[in-house]
Structure 1
Amino acid sequence: MDEHDVQVPADLQYRAVPSTERQPLLNDHPKDPYIVVFSGPNDPLDPMNMEPWRKWLCAFVLGFMTFTVTFSSSVFSAAVNVTAEEFGVSVETMALATSLFIIGLAAGPVLMGPSSELFGRKAPLFIAYVTFVLSQIPVGLAQSAYTVLIFRLVGGVAASGSSAIVGGYLADFFAPVQLGVAIAIYSATTLIGPSVGGIVGGIVVQSSLGWRWIVWLTMIQGFIFGSIGFLMLPETYVPVVLTRKAKRLRLTTGEWALHSKSEEEPVDVMKFVVIYLSRPFLMLCLEPILLFMTLYISFTLGTIYLLFVAYPISFEQERHFGHISASLPFIPIIVGIIIGSVYVVYYSMTTLKVKLAKNGRVEPEDRLPPMIVGAFFLPIGLFWFAWTSAPTINPWPQILSGIPTGIGTQLIMLQSLAYIIDIYKSNANSAIAGTVIVRSFIAGSFPVLAIPLYSRLGISWASSIVGLMALAFAPVPILFYLYGSKVRQLSRYSPKIS
């Protein structure tokens, strides 16, 4: 047995022994010659030491897996009318197919987030993802509205593994500057997915393929990207990696006293339920930064799903666009999301890179300036959409309003996620799980509420109200940029860095 597999020089302890930032469920590491740690800062088992090409390949694969989930969340909205007619139910009933999927996304993180901080990233992610892919089969073969609604809910619960685990997955192997770029990729796929789903859904439903093919397309995507991910993605959660290393060393050396720190603290079912499953809810109640960011994220994501109702009303019913043509105005939103992503990548590779070189680290609040920009782009886009919605006005100004809406949405969603990850480190998955739970319930209610809202108030007034709500949220990133560091000092879940 190599002595470095057990103990390392003090000057290497910062990498060899995972700190509390990378061991959320473990206590501080005592000096014990039988504790298995990394063999040094260049240990190939350390996820941070993965080859750069593999890191970026993993980021893209995780992004495409998430794209399939968010694509599925909205694609069925195009089939609401035809399925309502086929199954003999109201349009409002079939609109629940979208809402139930999004609400389902709220249920899974209760289990997925904490599980990934106990059993590792890969197993919980792929167990859930396989279930999501298989849940498409009963929807595609459904002969009643109830079958569709039940398995859309099941699919949403299973799909939540992506949104609950991917953020922590990326944080396991990316340094701060590169993490900002990786999250830009992930966040872009999260937001582009619903927009593409709305467009593709409209095209497929109106084609000779019929509405069931929107389900089969989702299943095919999920199978392809899930298979690639299963083959390419390694386990990256440090306590699990070290536990596996300890097991190998026990077998190869015969030294049965060797063990990882996590093996000293076995977790029974009751402890898992009482402590770990409650963590996302406790963090939401006890962490003001997480609470306000969660509410802002929830509203922003809900706005996107609300527009899936507003756009068809405005362009198809009021402007009399064809069904497919009425879905094409989503393209400027996608363009805006891409522009927002490019801006964040540029900001990360310039401003953040300089701060990291100068100070040796990046403060969480350094993520917020782009979010502040986005906080004003979102209401601008919504007011623009509202005030150019009259059918007597040329449609192009209203269509182009999607660009600032997309920019604002992407900057808010992306940088708020990066901010949460930077604050809570390896507790990030529990924090993200709490965020996903709340945002899914709130965002899931928006498509249902949008129908009466836009029917009673009209496009202009309804969208103006949503714009005013977006404006009311705008001070949130400004306040945390100014006072966030002081608030973090009171946190029970944010690792303290001297």
Structure 2
Amino acid sequence: MDAEKHPPSEPPFESGSTTPLQHVSGRTPRSATSDDSIGSDATETEGGIPQKLPSLKSPKNIQYNTDLEKGPGGSQSENLQAAVQHVDSNLVDWDGPSDPENPMNWGLAKKWYITMMMSAMTFCITFSSSVFSQATAVTAKVYGVSTEVTTLATSFVVLGFALGPLVFGPLSELYGRPRPLFVGFIISAIFQIPVAVAQNIETILICRFFIGMFGSAAMAIVGGVLVDLWGPAAFVCSRYLKTSAHCYCSAALLVFLKETGNPALRTALDDARPTMQDIFSKYFSRPLKMLVLEPILLLITLYLAITYGILYLFFFAYPISFQEVRGWKHPGVAALPFIGLFIGILAGCMFVVYFTRTRFARKMREAGSVVPEERLPPMIAAAFILPAGLFWFSWTSSPTISWVPQVISGIPTGFGIIVIFLQGLNYLTDIYMMFTNSAFAANTLVRSGFGAAFPLFAAQMFHKLGVRWAGSLLGFLTVAMIPVPMLFYVYGNKIRAMSRFSPKL
């Protein structure tokens, strides 16, 4: 790492064009630009990722504007000007693209270790959100309430997923990954305990909400961690235990998750402590601004929200179809058809990995970089497969038809859901790069809102319309979304050129 003292007479920066600075303590690259684009001084390497940023040996090259709302050349706040006047030897930058301190240059074993820890965290949180759905009827009898009320125990966790990332995503950009990630996950684990010993339904519902809200730290931050480690060509997906597993993961994190950098080392922007107004305007409101201003983020988020809602809706639709319609009275037996969904999800993950390691990686080697739209071909294929699976499920639901075809229908359904979900997130990651956490926060807000709402009307819809037409309605909804990935595959490059948040490399 380079660290050099600067003469006090030399100005620390000039206003004008903007260039992001990258952090050295495990933080996401953060730009304080007016147009949020990467400057021309960045050196592109694999996948167009800027591996070397302007050296702090030349302070005049560091030019930025911290007001997102103002155009280039806007004025800085007074506290920023005062903070950067004193530049000391602890101000550092990456020592070239081969710097061993850069997470992308860490050893394979270390990168896989961190990846597995992040995967375990997201597994605990997402499993906790859905596992309660199988206890809905039993819990209703125990506490003397309706099943609609106990359904809220699932919806409230997902509602917490919607709100938490608006805080944890931006906090990870301000204070780095480990602290908000670990604090949120530990608090989420603590709220599992009252659920296990609750004496009333109110305690369960309230604690389930906080489990989701604090647990969403993993949902908001893990994607950015994997981008820091692997880059676009090797981006590893991790998605989808109750109380004990959550606590085990917390203990493992407490022992093994260590800070990756020296807190004394920092960049110039670390000395510019933002005011509360700066924090709110730039970090807490950024996800909502991106959702409104970015058509790619908006439509991809809507598509992912629908598929996410369908996934959570199926946790209640499957018991209706197999327990009530087909008469499989034992809850454990009626849950076995979920194996079809699981096989489809597993196959979808393998397909995404295969696509990334073959066609995507080959294009990366040949051209040196790959446009984000190369993530979309699997998503386009899955856009046709998902509605096919939904119609298949719906029109084989009659008890006069063997249960086998309906169970098998879960394979294309699960395949379509997971491929759309993963490639949609990968596409957003490649587009927004240093703003990945904010994009994920906006995405999670809408997506989790759908995931919380869909289970609430699942029983009424499937009871009144019947499995055949209720499932067909979902199929028609996904058919309407097929043009979304096709549109961005053709016109995505032009749309990205107009973006304020997508780096211009």
Give the TM bin, normalised by the shorter chain. Answer: 0.7 to 0.9
Q: What TM-score, normalized by structure 1, do the two folds share?
A: 0.84
Q: Are the aligned partners of 1:139 and 1:152 in contact in 2 as well (CA < 8 Å)?
A: yes
- CA deviation string 1:2-27 (max 9, x = no partner): 8x3339xxxxxxxx9639x9633435
Residue among 217, 224, 242 paired with 1:218: 242
Asked whether the equivalents of residues 161 and 215 of structure 2 are also in contact (C-alpha less than 8 Å), the reply is yes
Deviation at 1:230, TM superposition (A): 4.1
Alignment match of 2:452 (pick from 444, 447, 450): 444
> For residues 183 and 256 of structure 2, what CA distance do their matches in structure 1 show?
16
Give the letter aligned to residue 407 of structure 2. Answer: I
- Please state how far the C-alpha of 1:154 moved relative to its aligned partner: 1.0
Whichever residue aligns with residue 157 of structure 1, its letter is M
Deviates most, 37-46 or 95-104: 37-46
- Does residue 333 of structure 2 align to residue 325 of structure 1? yes
Distance in 2 of aligned mates of 1:178 and 1:376: 26
Question: What letter is aligned with 1:362?
Answer: V
What is the CA deviation profile of residues 306-365 of structure 1, one whole-angstrom value per residue up to 9, with x for unaligned ones? 111110011011111121011011111111111111111111111011111111112100
The alpha carbon displacement at 1:234 in A equals 4.8
Change (3 A) 1:22 1:91: closer
Aligned equivalent of 1:18: 22
What letter matches 1:24 in structure 2?
A: R
Structure-1 residue corresponding to 2:62: none
Would you say 1:64 and 2:68 are equivalent positions? no
Counterpart Cα distance in 1 of 2:256 and 2:21: 26
User: Conserved in 2, the CA contact under 8 Å of 1:25 and 1:117?
Assistant: no
Q: What SS does the corresponding residue of 2:29 show, helix, strand or coil?
A: coil
Is the CA contact 2:385–2:412 (under 8 Å) kept in the aligned structure 1? yes
Q: Which residue of 1 is the match for residue 134 of structure 2?
A: 78
Q: Is 2:467 the partner of 1:459?
A: yes
Query: Amino acid of the residue matched to residue 374 of structure 1?
Result: A
Distance 1:22 1:219, change over 3 A: closer
Whether contact under 8 Å (1:62, 1:229) holds in the other structure is no
The aligned counterpart of 1:345 is: 353
- Of stretches 165-174 and 54-63 in structure 1, the one that deviates more from structure 2 is 54-63
Distance in 2 (alpha carbons) for counterparts of 1:234 and 1:171: 18
Match of 1:298 among 287, 302, 305: 305
Query: Partners of 1:115 and 1:67 in 2: how far apart?
Result: 22
Q: CA deviation at 1:245?
A: 5.0
- Deviation for aligned residue 1:474: 1.1
More displaced 10-residue stretch of structure 1: 360-369 or 268-277: 268-277
Q: Structure 2 residue aligned with 1:121, among 146, 165, 177?
A: 177
Offset at 1:416? 0.4
Please list every run of 5 or more consecutive structure 1 residues that lacks an aligned counterpart in the other structure. Answer: 8-15, 191-216, 247-258
Corresponding residue of 1:415: 423
Following superposition of structure 1 onto structure 2, how do residues 4-403 of structure 1 map, counting pairs within 5 Å?
4-6=2-4, 18=22, 23-27=29-33, 31-32=58-59, 34=88, 35-179=91-235, 182-183=236-237, 186=238, 189-190=239-240, 218-235=242-259, 241=261, 244-246=263-265, 260-321=267-328, 322-403=330-411
| CA distance in 2 between partners of 1:303 and 1:405 (Å) | 10
Aligned residue in 2 for 1:12:
none
Which residue identity lines up with residue 116 of structure 2 in the other structure? F
Q: Which moved more, 1:41-50 or 1:90-99?
A: 41-50
Contact 2:155 2:455 in 1 (8 A): yes
Is the 2:317–2:458 Cα contact (8 Å) retained in structure 1?
yes
**Alignment identity in percent?**
42
Structure 2 distance, partners of 1:422, 1:122, is 22
2:278 and 2:395 mapped to 1: Cα distance? 55
Deviations 1:69-95 (A, max 9, x none): 111111111111121111111111111
Matched positions, count = 438
Q: CA deviation at 1:274?
A: 2.4
1:244 is matched by which residue type in structure 2? P
Three-state SS of the structure 2 residue aligned to 1:244 is coil
Deviations 1:139-165 (A, max 9, x none): 111111111111111111111111111
Question: Does the 8 Å contact 2:28/2:176 carry over to 1?
Answer: no
Q: Which residue of the partner structure matches residue 207 of structure 1? A: none
Q: Is the 8 A contact 1:26 1:261 kept in 2?
A: no
Following superposition, the deviation at residue 428 of structure 1 comes to: 0.5
Q: What displacement does 1:420 show?
A: 0.3
RMSD of aligned Cα (Å): 2.0
- Structure 2: gaps spanning 5 or more residues: 6-19, 34-38, 40-53, 60-86
Q: 2:500 matched to 1:492?
A: yes
My pick for the range that moved more, 388-397 or 55-64, is: 55-64
CA distance in structure 1 between the partners assigned to 2:31 and 2:366 by the alignment: 32
**What amino acid sits opposite 1:420 in the alignment?**
L
* Contact 1:6/1:37 (8 A) holds in 2: no
Contact 1:121 1:235 in 2 (8 A): no
Match of 2:413 among 405, 408, 415: 405
Q: Secondary structure at the match of 1:117?
A: helix
Give me the whole-angstrom Cα distance separating, in 2, the residues matched to 1:275 and 1:223. Answer: 34
Q: How far apart in 2 are the matches of 1:313 and 1:285?
A: 38
Kept after mapping to 2: 8 A contact 1:6/1:39: no
Distance 1:340 1:352 in 2: 16
Distance (whole Å) between structure 2 residues aligned to residue 224 and residue 424 of structure 1: 33
Paired amino acid for 2:100 = P
| 1:222-279 C-alpha deviation (Å, 9 max, x unpaired) | 122233234444556xxxx4x7252xxxxxxxxxxxx522224212223212221000
Shift in Å, 1:289? 0.2
Alpha-carbon distance in structure 1 between the residues aligned to 2:362 and 2:99: 28
Separation (CA, whole Å) in 2 of partners of 1:355 and 1:433 = 30
| Distance (whole Å) between structure 1 residues aligned to residue 278 and residue 94 of structure 2 | 28
Does the aligned pair in 1 maintain the 2:166–2:441 contact within 8 Å? yes
Distance, in Å, in 1 between the alignment partners of 2:122 and 2:344 is 19
Q: Deviations over 1:435-492 (max 9, x none)?
A: 0011111111000011110110000000000001011111111110010010000000
Hey, what does 1:13 align to over in structure 2? none
**Within 2, Cα distance between the matches of 1:479 and 1:232?**
44
Paired position in structure 1 for 2:479: 471
Give the helix-richer structure, 1 or 2.
1
- Counterparts of 2:254 and 2:106, CA distance in 1: 17
8 Å CA contact 1:17–1:38 kept in 2: the answer is: no
Deviations 1:34-57 (A, max 9, x none): 541123333332111111111122
Q: 1:89 to 1:22 in 2, by over 3 A?
A: closer
